[in-house]
Each structure stands twice: as C-alpha cells, then as structure tokens.
Structure 1
Amino acid sequence: MFGTTTGSRRLTLALATVTALALGATACGGTTKDDAAEESGSAAAGKADPQAETKKGLTVAFLPKQVNNPYFTTADKGGEKALRDLGSEYKEVGTSSGTDTAGQVSYVNTLTQQQVDAMAVSAQDPGALCTALKQAMRNGVSVVTYDSDTNKDCRQVFVSPASAEDLGRTQVELLAEQIGGKGEIAILSAAQTATNQNTWIDVMKEELKKPAHKDIKLVKVAYGDDDAQKSFQQTQGLLQEYPDLKGIISPTTVGIKAAAQYLSGSKYKGKVKLTGLGTPNDMRAYVKNGTVEQFELWEPAKLGALAARTAVALESGQITGKEGETFAAGDLGTMTIGADGVISPGEPTVFDEANVDEYDF
C-alpha cells in the first residue's frame, strides 16, 4: 500500500471524488491542482522558480507499459536510484501485459486515491489514460510521461528517449546500409496503439521517401504487441509472406529479441538483416553469432532517472512544463524543456560487436 502525503497540498478525497474517479468523470471535490498552486505558489500556477528548494519525502509512482519487461525494469531502477538520491520514495505498479489499457487506467485512479505526489507513466495508448491523468492533476498529482506519451494536455512533461526524428531516421539508415540500399523491408512493432512506436514509424516512412532510399520498399508493418511469442510468430509470418524480404526493423526491445531468436535458428540467419531498438544484454548473443550486425537504444536507466528528477522538479515548483524552463537533473546536467513539454536525456547509442560487451543493461 502507498503511504498518505500530509499537508495543505493534499486533502483527503471525499466519497464523491472516489466515485468520480471510478466513472472517469470530472472532479467534484478535494484539492485541485490550481487550488494547491495558489496556496503554495507551486509550478502548477505557472510560477516556476528554478531556484526553489528541492522537496524531500515525496512519493513518486512509476507506471510502465509492462512490468517485468527487462527494458522497463532497467528504466524504473534508474528512477528508483534517482529518487533515493533525492530523498524521496519510489513505487512501481503496472500490468504484465503491454496492451492492457484498462488496467493502466485503473492504476492511475488508484494512485490518485492513494494521494501519491507524482507519477511517471509510460502510456500504452495516447488517449485512453487522459481522463484519469487529468483527474490526477486536478487533485494535485504531478504527471510525467516517459518512453511513450499521452496527448500533450494530459500530462505536464514528456521525457522522450530521444527525438522521434533521430530514432526514426537512424533505424532506417542502419538497415539501409546493411541491405545495400535496396530491397523489401518490414517493420515489426509493438501494439498498434503504442504512441512512441507509431511516431517513430511515421518518421521512418518519411525517411524512406527520400531519394537515397528510393530502392527500398516497405511491404508491411506487423504488430507483436510486445509479446515474445507473438513477435516470434509475426517474424515467421513476414518471411513466409515475403520470401524476398531483405530486412526487418523492430523498434521495440521485445520484438527485436524475438525476431533475432527466430532468425538465428532459421535459414534466414545472416541473409535477412535485423535492426531496431534492443538492450545489449538481450542482443549480445545474436550479435556474436552473426544474426544481428547493429542495433541501437538510449540508456534506459538514464530515461528513468530523468523521469524521476522531472517529477520532483515539478513538485518542487522548479518547473511547470513550459517550453524554455530549465532545471538541474543531477549527473544528466541542466535540462531544458522543449516544445510541447518534451525533454530528452540524449541521442541513442549504436551497438555492434565492437562495443556491445561494454554495456550491461
């Protein structure tokens, strides 16, 4: 169970508010974000103070897209360490499925009722969580999204792994180089509703329209729902449906590992190229056995740490989420909030046989 935060910023929610949460309706009682801001002069009122003292003793809950997913385990541990360093408490809740949007909504509502100070959420769907997240903010909870965003008015800050443009473009460039700039390719994504996946895929499609990639044809986007078995089967299906396939991009850590597993035990090993977003620990064996030449990823622990530090900065009144605001993010340096409340810890790292053993995540 989560502890209750005391103080003027949080009033015990009345029964009407609890009912409203269950129904996804507008709040009818309790302390609102604006009321709390007026009382405390906090960031919610649009009065960010980058020199404000960093609050301690906060409770920040992480809600990943999928618990027990190695990627999110690493990211959330980064958030846990950052919160410990800041003198605050870390919690993690979530579903075991990467497509259980109803489950995510339920967790957001529960966290709001439990009066956590802030939550960091990786959204399975861009709109499904909006009503619940807006309710949370009205009740004084700071909301940060990380890895996968909601609609921008449903949170204060989105901590993006890297810019969508960089991620979409570089994955196409990696595969184009490996297939000699020509041939049929496919994309193996996560869920059809995954905000980050769809954003990156849109960038990939635009990148493929450039003259440099005129001889590359995207034949299909398949969806493995961040489920290892389904992603494995989708890879098999792609190769059966498109026997001339030259390469696959999988912008999901579950998908790329499952695709590599299938390719490594098939006649396509070394012939059908595979790249995308994966962790070094998941992909090391496939790099060393010749199934995969190169893949990329940001460091998920840094992503989680930045999400945690952003949540604390919001609660401390150092930022509001407006473009141009800055705050100190520990070892990550000074962060500047960009357009639409988006920040990023940096560019992705490309992994290959030469450097994959240098990383452990």
Structure 2
Amino acid sequence: MSRKRILSITAPLLAGVLLAATACGGTTQGDDDDGGGAATGGTADPDADYQTGLSIAMLPKSVNNPYFDASSAGAEAVVTELEGTYEYTGPSDASASSQVSYIDTLSQQASDAILLSANDPNALCASLDQARAGGTIVVTFDSDVEASCRDLFVSQVNGDEVALSLLEMAAEQTGGAGEIAVLSATANATNQNAWIEAMEAELESNPDYADLELVDVVYGDDEDEKSFSETQGLLQTHPDLKAIISPTTVGIAAAARYLSGSEYQGEVALTGLGTPNQMREYIADGTVTEFALWDPTALGELAAYTAAAAASGIITGAEGEVFTAGDLGEYTVEADGIVTLGPPTRFNADNIDDFDF
C-alpha cells in the first residue's frame, strides 16, 4: 500500500547519526543512467536515474523538535540510499532571522539541495535567491515560502483537508457548540496561517459550525514553555472555552501537559496535529480524545526524493511532471511546483498503539 494516498500502519522512526559536514559538488550519474532527464511540455521520465553523490541538507523551523527529527530520519535514509551526503542543521528558535544564516552557509558550501521548512514566507527569499543563483536546488517542505523563491514545495497534505479535519474533530469533541481557540506556532508560519484562514472561512460559511465561535488565536512560537504558558493564558482569558485546536506538534504536546495537570482536564477538549509517541500518554489519561497528523518520516523521504529528482534533472518543477519516490510510489508535480504527500490520519485510543513515530 503506497503512503502516497494512505498512511502505512506502522512508521518506525529511523535511527541514524546526523552527519556534521556537507560535501560540495562532485556528483556523478548512476551506473544505469539511460540519459533520461526532464522532458519538455510538462512531462518527465518517472524511471530516470537519480544522481549519486548529491549533497543535501535539511533546515527545519527549529531543531530538537520530534516532528522534524522524524522528517530528518526519513530524508537521511533516502540520501544514504542515493550514496549522497546529508546534513541536518538549523536554529534552536523558530524565527526567520535565525534561518537566514544557515541558508547562507549552505549556499557558500554549494550544497546541491536544501530542504527547508520556512518560518516566514518572504523574509528568506533574498538568501534563497542567492543560493539558487549558485546552483542549489531549494525544496521547501511542511511550510512554504513564496513560490518564486524556491523550486518546489512538498506539502504534507492539502491545506483545506487539514482545516476540515481540525474543525470536524473540534466539533465532535464539543458537541458542535461553544467557544474555541487556536494555539499556533509562529505568527508568520505559512502553513499554520493557511490552515487558520481556511478554518475561519469554514466557520463562516458552513451551517454545521454555526454554534462554534473562534474567540482567539495565540502563538507559542513552537517553544514548549511558551506554548504551555499560552495555554494557561487562553483558559484564564476565556473561562467558557470548550476546545483548543493546536496545529503544531510542539503546541499540542505542551497544551496537553498543562491540561493533564489542571482542573480543565476532561472539561476543555484539545485536538490538533501531533505525533503518536508525543500524545500517547494524554490519550491514555483522557486529556485528549483524538488528534491527527501525516507521517513526518515519509514527508522527509518525499522531500529528499523531490530534491534529488530536481538536482538530477528528472523534474524541473513544471506542472504535470512525474517521478518515482522509491517505495512511496509515483508523484505528480502540481501547479506552482507543489508535490503533495497525502491526507492526514486521525489517532485515538482505538488505533494509536498501531503507530510508532
């Protein structure tokens, strides 16, 4: 069963030692190269060979984040399979200014490709343009920049699907009525902002949600302690709050930790996006009923394959191009250079123990 459409039943986190240095240039074509590259007219040969020896680096929003650790493990496994060199590097704080210096360093090292989860859609563009001018392929994943600033974007899911899933879970857990709030990552996070906008539009237009009221959006900056404090602040500011939606793995875990030790456990619903291993204890103790996510390891794998395909000339980022991402299967480049992993999966007491990531 391909994870292109349905998340596999188990996704063990791949272990590996993160490499500290990235090799520069020196790529060679695979032994079985048939000379196939990206064709004109929006098509490509999905069976064309990847280059070996590619240097690929992943730059997440912040390091020491279990979600991005899983993505890194997936990417590193792909790069290793392709006989390339891999680096996982980034700031400890989720800010755009912190990411700029890392982009500049990778650009100076002449990395073949950068896998970037952006903290801002615009602030990184100057550095990314410089990297691309030097021949580095820029593939964003998880959180995008302006399309003109990168080559391709690997989206975890369709944004509207995420928004609908989050609202559906919140409605189910509140009986479809009451005040709800959002605990997001950073104020400039492209993906979270798109999901929040889609949720707001759905709340306004869908009569099924007429009795739900979004009363606040706060930002934990993908920092555990700040997300914990923001959760406390939400509950103090809105004593009638019925549910918190946190579309970030750091935020939902911090919110769950606060709720589990408070008078609000079982009274205020919490849902959003989290990893099963983070949230298992909170499902077990009744703090959380259900949450969702895609497989972050597979997301890292797909990002690495996409970057390698672009660096190998298999795809250019044109709509309609097709490439094969190993065991994940075939993927088609969509408009604006987007490649989509697949729909989110919901986790609850009935299935959470089937997953390990």
TM-score for both structures, normalised by structure 2: 0.89
Deviates more, 1:181-190 or 1:337-346: 337-346
Percent identical pairs in the alignment equals: 52
Q: Which one of 226, 230, 234 corresponds to residue 226 of structure 2?
A: 230
Deviations 1:125-175 (A, max 9, x none): 001111111111111111100000000111111001101000011100011
Which residue number in structure 2 is paired with residue 325 of structure 1?
321
- Does 2:120 align with 1:125? yes
Alpha-carbon distance between aligned partners in 2 of 1:44 and 1:204, rounded to the nearest angstrom: 39
Matched, 1:191 2:186: yes
C-alpha separation in 2, matches of 1:167 and 1:253: 14
The match for 1:342 is 338
User: Separation in 1 of the partners of 2:315 and 2:26?
Assistant: 22
SS of residue matched to 1:67: coil
Measured after TM superposition, the shift of residue 6 of structure 1 is 3.4
Supply the distance in 1 between the matched residues of 2:265 and 2:78 (Cα, whole angstroms): 41
Alignment of 1:129-278 (within 5 A): 129-209=124-204, 210-278=206-274
Whether the 8 Å CA contact 1:260–1:291 is kept in 2: the answer is yes
- 1:6 matched residue in structure 2: 26
Letter in 2 for 1:124: N
2:278 paired residue among 274, 277, 282? 282
Are positions 1:301 and 2:306 aligned together? no
Paired AA for residue 175 in structure 1: A
- Secondary structure, aligned partner of 1:74: helix
Q: Which has the higher contact order (CA 8 A, sep 6+)?
A: 2
Letter in 2 for 1:283: M
Question: Paired residue for 1:63?
Answer: 59
Q: Which amino acid aligns with 1:232?
A: F
For the Cα contact (< 8 Å) 2:44–2:323, is it kept in 1? no
CA RMSD of aligned residues (A): 1.8
Q: What is the CA-CA distance between 1:319 and the residue it aligns to?
A: 0.5
Gap runs ≥5 in structure 1 = 9-39
Contact 1:95 1:103 in 2 (8 A): yes
**Does the CA contact (< 8 Å) of 1:41 and 1:47 recur in 2?**
no
| Structure 1 residue 4: Cα displacement | 2.3
CA contact (8 A) 2:36 2:49 kept: no
Give the AA of the match of 1:4.
C
Distance of aligned partners of 1:7 and 1:166 in 2 relative to their CA distance in 1, 3 Å threshold: closer
Give the ranges of 4+ consecutive aligned residues of structure 1 lying more than 6 Å apart after TM superposition.
44-48
Q: What is the letter of the counterpart of residue 286 of structure 1?
A: Y
CA contact (8 A) 2:220 2:230 kept: yes
Shift of 1:48: 6.5
2:104 aligned residue: 109
Query: Aligned to 1:281, what secondary structure does the other structure show?
Result: helix
Q: Residues 38-53 of structure 1: matches in 2 within 5 Å?
A: 49-50=44-45, 51-53=47-49
Give the structure-1-normalised TM-score: 0.88
Offset from partner CA, 1:291-345 (integer Å, 9 cap, x none):
0000000000000000000010001111111111110011111000111111111
Cα separation, 1, equivalents of 2:39 and 2:263: 57
* Aligned-pair CA distance for 1:44: 11
Larger helix share, 1 or 2: 1
Which one-letter code corresponds to 1:353 in the other structure? A
Aligned to 1:13: none
Structure 2 equivalent of residue 313 of structure 1: 309
5+ residue gaps, structure 2, are 1-20, 29-34
Name the counterpart of 2:3.
none
Tell me: CA distance 1:232–1:152, structure 2 relative to 1, closer, same or farther (3 Å): same
Distance 2:195 2:120 in 1: 15
